[in-house]
Amino acid sequence: MKKIAVIIANRNDLQMLLVTVLSAVEELTGLNGEIVVVDNSNSDQVECIKSLLAGQIKQGNVRLFFNTYISSAAAMERAALEADAEFLFYVDSHCIIGKDTIKYCLAFFDRHKGEPIAFCYAPIQWAHNSPVARKVSFRFHRNHMGSWGKMISKEQKVIFKGMPHMIRKDVYHAIGGYGCLASEKFGWGGLIPYLGWKPWLLGYENWGIPDGVAYHFGEYPAVCREKVKYRLYGRHGRFQAGASHAVAAYVFGGEKFLNQEFEPAKMDRYFESKEAALRFVKGIPAVEKDKEWIQANQKHSIWELIENPPWGQNF
C-alpha cells in the first residue's frame, strides 16, 4: 500500500488538468504516492484527456479511470475505492498544489495519531475573481460557519474548508464513504454538506490548518463562456446542487431539518415548495437506507451540533 494518493475528479477540464497533475507529481517527490484521476467528461473530450495524461500514465505517475455520467461526487467515490493508499488527498482539477502542502497535511495527521479526525483541510487561494468565488460560503441553521476563502492562522476545528482536503482511507470506510449522494450520482454541490456534517455525527472531526495552499484557477471570464466550455454543468448541474443539499438535510435531520434548511439554503431556486423537495428526496431509494445507517451509527444528532457546534460559535 502506498502512503498517499492524490485524488482528482475531472469534467471537461482541458486547460488545467495537466498542470494540476504536474503539481501533484512534484509534491509527491520523495513520498510513496500515486495520482488517481477519474474523468467524467463529455464523450468528445475523452481522447483529449487520454492524450493529455499519456506521458504521466506511461511513467507510472497516474492511473486514469472514466465514469460516463455527470457527477463529481461519484467520481470522487470511485477514485477513493480505486486508490491503494493509507491517505487520500483530494484536489480540484483546476488547482496548483502549493509547495509542501501534502507534507503539511501528513504532518498534521502524524501529530494527531489516534485522534478521531476525518478531514484535514489546507488553505485555498482563489486565483480568479468570479461570482462563484465571491459567494462560496456555507450556512448552517442561520449561523455563518465559515467560507472556502477564509484563511486561518492556527489549527482549528472547522465544519468544512473546501479543497484541498486529506482523509485516512480507513476513516473514509468507517464513515461509510460519501453516502447516497455518490451512489445516486449527484453532483459536487451536495457533497459539501456530507463532508461537513457526516464526520461530526459519527464522532469524527474536521480540522483546518494554516500551512500550505492550493491555488484555484476556477472560472473563465463570462465573455469567454460561450466559446470555451470549461467545467460548466449548466442547469442540470445547478439542479443537482440544490437536490443534493435537500438530500443531505433530509438524511441528517429528517423532514424537520429539510424544512428548516429550505429557505437559508435557497432551495427555492430548485424546488417550487418544501413539499416538492420532500417528495423528491423520498423518491430516491438510497436516501432512506443512508438515513437509517446514519441514525444507527451516529454519536451526535444534528440538533446537538446546532445547539453546541464543536467548531465554535464564532468561526
Give pLDDT tens digits for 182-221. Answer: 877 776 666 777 888 899 999 999 999 999 988 888 665 5
276 is a domain residue: yes
CATH number for the domain spanning 54: value is 3.90.550.10
Residue 140 has pLDDT above 90, yes or no: no
315 is a domain residue: no
312 is a domain residue: no
Q: Into how many domains does the chain fold? A: 1
314 is a domain residue: no
pTM over 0.85, yes/no = yes
Instruction: Please give the full DSSP string across 238-304, using - where no structure is assigned.
Output: HHHHHHHHHHHHHHHHHHHHHHHHHTTTTGGGT-SSHHHHHHHHHT-HHHHHHHHHHHHH-SS-HHH
**Structural domain of residue 146, as residue ranges?**
2-307
What pLDDT does 239 receive?
A: 66
260 is a domain residue: yes
189 is a domain residue: yes
Give pLDDT tens digits for 257-287. Answer: 999 888 766 777 788 899 999 999 999 888 9
